[in-house]
Chain A
Amino acid sequence: MNNEAIEEDETRVSDCAGRVVLIQDCVETSGAFLLHHLMKRKLSRESSEIVVFVAFAHPFYHYDRILKKLGCNLVTLSQKGRFIFFDMRKLDCLDEVGGGRTKSGLVELFHKIHKAAEVIASPETKICITIMIDDLSLVEVAAQGSSSYVIDFLRYCRTLTTEVGCTLILLNHEDIYSNSEESTLNLELEYLADIVMKAKPLATGLAADVHGQLTVLNKRSINEHGKIKKRIQNFQFKVKENSVEYFYSGSRT
């Protein structure tokens, strides 16, 4: 079945430790469902992975409610230490001190993440850690528009992917950068990411059964035989109350 093929592909996406996954969405189609989907996979009973969630957009209870419908209880998981939540909605990073800027907020945040990752990742236990950031544009807002500061932060987060084998999952909005020639944040992110997922509205217009389309670019996709696979794959999706359906375009009317 189509869904199985896609699920298998997704598993491979979510299994790849040490990668950077970038989710890009737009106003018409939110990519948050991908974040929830990946979170659910990481926190499912079969896996023993740990999720470090850095929230800039929504509070804990927002995610708790959504994940409950998907079959995960974030409260119990965080008590067990499998879900670590950093509420960063009130972070303000730059303080003007005597003309010179002292950057503190994101450095501290990185220290927090780094410490958490180090505590979890000991050489004996091979636990995978996933770091999720729910809205990069709000990180930029917190950094008062300094995109280079945000990129420094992300590059530091990326060092954890090689040091302790973390996976880094980032959500960003694509359309807010479409006009500004100056901002290279999006481009830098695309260079940084190993996997880029783009959620867009259906190109052919509205449809009752299809909520949008998903394009996945896997820069280093190598299949089980060590051969290079196709880089780009297209799916369509339908977001349901407690699950998401993925299918190849044309397989639904």
Chain B
Amino acid sequence: MAETMCRALRDGSLEGEHAPALTIKDTIRTAFGVEVFDHVLCYMASTILAQKSQSSGLVLVALDRSPSLYLNLLKSRGIDASDSYKWIRVLDCYTDPLGWKEGANVLSRRESLETLFKDVSDLDKLFDAVIQLGRGMVGQGKVRFCVAIDSASLMLRHASLSSVGSLINNLRSHDQVSSIFWLIHSDLHEIRATSVLEYMSSMVGSLEPIFQSSNEQRRNSENLLSIENDTREGKFIVRLKRRNGRVKVMCEEFHVEETGIKFLAVPSESEMVNQQILPKLQFNLQLSEKERNEKENVVLPFEHQGNGQTIQIYDGRRSLPLNKNDSTTSVSVLEKLQAESAQGKGEIHYLRDSDDELPDSDEDPDDDLDI
């Protein structure tokens, strides 16, 4: 499913449509959003290099981590960075996002593919810078590029929600942008902010702990160091929004390893229930496929009714046989039924002895009691 998500980004946008956009969101309890971001980034980089992707370049807006770290990451994942100038540009909003280093001597050993950006609060300028970088790389015309924003949370700290929204919207609707993805730490913002970004994206990948705790526990300040956080696993839930409005939700598990994040398919719901929630039982609550088939083949007592045959239920008052044939007696019914049972069908019949005997309604049932 992470694969589906990445492929959608790779395939890019159709003519006249918005570019596919991916929101990766995490919380402090499963703060592995960075790993997912790296995974998607490396995937995009490798497909761009292999020319399998619609985009032929990548513009990375680095707010949270240093540009050199990203270049090292690509190298360490075996992505050939020797001619990276041809296909990647980094807009460095990390080193000096607010212009505090103005006047100070900013270290000048930066590579040509990094561009310093000094005013993160001005998102219009940021948009122009991204487009300019992209065009500088792939040229004007129909060639497209992909945009990655490593922390929408940091953008939201410096700029209003509406301006972040408009930046993303402008990027998505630009003809040269093939796809866009960003990371957000959802617990740093109001729900409103996260949902706005989710609405603006065609895919949402959210990281959740395998075991959900109650709200109260979640609010507990000990969260970060709680025992369940001592794991590098979690659930990765992908929500894909189709063009026709259909929303598809898929779930996967992830493990963070030294070489990156790995996604595993989740066993089906019933198996999960069986494995995780129920304690080990001595008896079997689940049916095997064979048992289920056998169970379905059992004919229940009421099921033969109306099954092509006339319904015959002897109610003890000769009402049914009387309608058909006056001479039919209870004995003939019995014979008929016996004949049927001889065919191998097991049935239970009840025949009332006689219609003459009336229940002793006038008798006192407690008459013999010696009170």
Contact = CB atoms under 8 A, between A and B. Distances in A.
Given A148-B157, A151-B157, A177 B221 contact: yes
Contacts of B188: 184, 187-188, 191
A115 B105 CA distance: 9
Interface in A82-130: 107, 110-111, 114-115, 118
Given A155-B97, A228-B258, A231-B229, A114 B104 contact: yes
Given A148-B157, A228-B232, A107 B100 contact: yes
Interface stretch (A27-35, A49-57, A156-164): A156-164
A196 B225 contact: yes
A132 interface: no
Nearest to A115: B104
Interface string B9-53: 000000000000000000010010000000000000000000000
A198 B225 contact: yes
A96 B96 CA distance: 24
Interface string A153-179: 001100100111000000000110110
Contacts, number: 72
A188 B69 CA distance: 21
Interface string A177-199: 11000001011101100001010
A130 B187 CA distance: 30
Interface string B184-196: 0101100000000
Interface residues of A, number: 37
Interface in A209-251: 215, 217, 219, 222, 226-228, 230-232
A116 B107 CA distance: 14
B66 A159 contact: yes
Contacts of A184: 188
A231 B104 contact: no
Contact of A190 (B224, B231, B232): B224
Interface in B74-98: 94-98
A114 B104 CA distance: 8
A15 interface: no
A118 B105 contact: yes
B97 A232 contact: no
Contacts of B185: 191
B256 interface: yes
Nearest to A161: B66
17 contacts: A110-B100, A111-B103, A118-B105, A148-B157, A159-B95, A162-B66, A163-B107, A177-B221, A178-B221, A187-B28, A190-B31, A196-B225, A217-B224, A217-B225, A219-B31, A232-B225, A232-B227
Given A159-B96, A191-B31, A232-B227, 14 more contacts: A118-B107, A159-B66, A162-B94, A163-B66, A163-B95, A187-B28, A187-B188, A188-B188, A222-B258, A228-B232, A228-B256, A231-B229, A231-B230, A231-B232
